[in-house]
Amino acid sequence: MGRLEGAVTLITGGGSGLGRAVVGRFVAEGALVGVLDHDKDKLAALTDEYGDAVLAVHGDVRHLEDHQRAVSGIVDRFGRLDSLVGTAAINEYAARLDQIPPDKLESALDEIMAVNFKGYLFAAVAARPELAKTNGSITLTLSTSGFYPGASGPLYTFSKHAGVGLVRQLAFEYSPAVRVNAVIPGGVPGSDLRGPVALGQEGISLKTLDRDGQVADMTPLRRMPRDEEYPPIYVLLAGKESTLATGGFFSWDGGLGLVGHGMTRDLGT
């Protein structure tokens, strides 16, 4: 039996990159998984691979009603909800604020905050009633940019700092029924982390920029992590072995936080 045998999870942004790796590991550990994602082709690929163990929900994390529909569909299909994992995000690929055109600044900020902050907030709001019934958990994916400047653009960095506050507040408000934690990953080689439409960056991702070497150079372990190295911490936080963990920020980044982006001043250029 797996460590999540019979557990039911909602994963937002589970169609690619880190989210998809978490989906695969949760299924391998015996979980039943609902995936909310905006890409129909990626959702279809998940159901082709994992069959009835995955419920694909096409939707937009920026809308509360899509999260509510995902939770309702999961409970109808699987009977319960034990955990929520948030992974959906976007990142503006500009190193400095003065590289963002002033006439695009407001729309770019609104777009990034809608995905990176509202997407997590709405997921937590939609999932809370069902998670409270199971003494469940929420695990949100943040970033070293939630603690240090210099690796990403200012809007992404702001959104991830806001996520830190969100995790702390939710952990406080949702206790004792629901535990809330965050994972702080490093580089993700399979990431499809896109840029905002407002800046014309929807076709850009970490994969297209091919910065694995830069990420490896700035990481104390001196290598790019593999996608499959990230899910174990999510399994732990979603399982019954972590009943004391709430309000925690779990660095799973190859030591990237030790240097605080000190070697990455020009990464976003």
CA distance 181 to 164: 10
Segment holding 138, helix H or strand E: strand 137-141
Structure confidence at residue 198 (pLDDT): 83
Q: Tell me the two tokens of residue 17.
A: 């990159």
Structure confidence at residue 264 (pLDDT): 45
Ordered DSSP codes for 197-228: GGGT-TT-BHHHHT-HHHHHHHSTT-SPPPGG
Answer for the pair 206, 200: CB distance below 8 angstroms, yes or no: no
Q: What domains can you pick out in the chain, each with its CATH number?
A: 8-259 (3.40.50.720)
Structure confidence at residue 177 (pLDDT): 97
| pTM greater than 0.85 | yes
Number of H helices, E strands in the chain: 10, 7
- Whether 156 sits among the annotated catalytic residues: the reply is yes
3-state DSSP assignment of residue 136: coil
Structure confidence at residue 208 (pLDDT): 65
CA distance 224 to 212: 6
What residues contact 127, with CB distance under 8 A and at least 6 apart? 10, 67, 71, 81, 84, 136, 138
Answer for the pair 119, 234: CB distance below 8 angstroms, yes or no: no
Structure confidence at residue 207 (pLDDT): 65
Structure confidence at residue 209 (pLDDT): 62
Per-residue pLDDT of the chain (269 residues; tens, 9 = 90+): 899 999 999 999 999 889 999 999 999 999 999 999 999 999 999 999 999 999 999 999 999 999 999 999 999 999 999 999 999 999 888 768 999 999 999 999 999 999 999 999 999 999 999 999 999 999 999 998 999 887 888 999 999 999 999 999 999 999 999 999 999 998 776 666 788 888 888 777 666 665 666 777 777 777 877 888 899 999 999 999 999 999 999 998 877 777 777 654 444 43
CA distance 147 to 168: 14
Structure confidence at residue 108 (pLDDT): 94
How far does Cα 236 stand from its chain's mean position?
Answer: 16
Catalytic residue among 156, 174, 230, 234, which? 156
Answer for the pair 149, 261: CB distance below 8 angstroms, yes or no: yes
Burial class (CB in 10 A: 0-12, 13-18, 19+), 19: buried
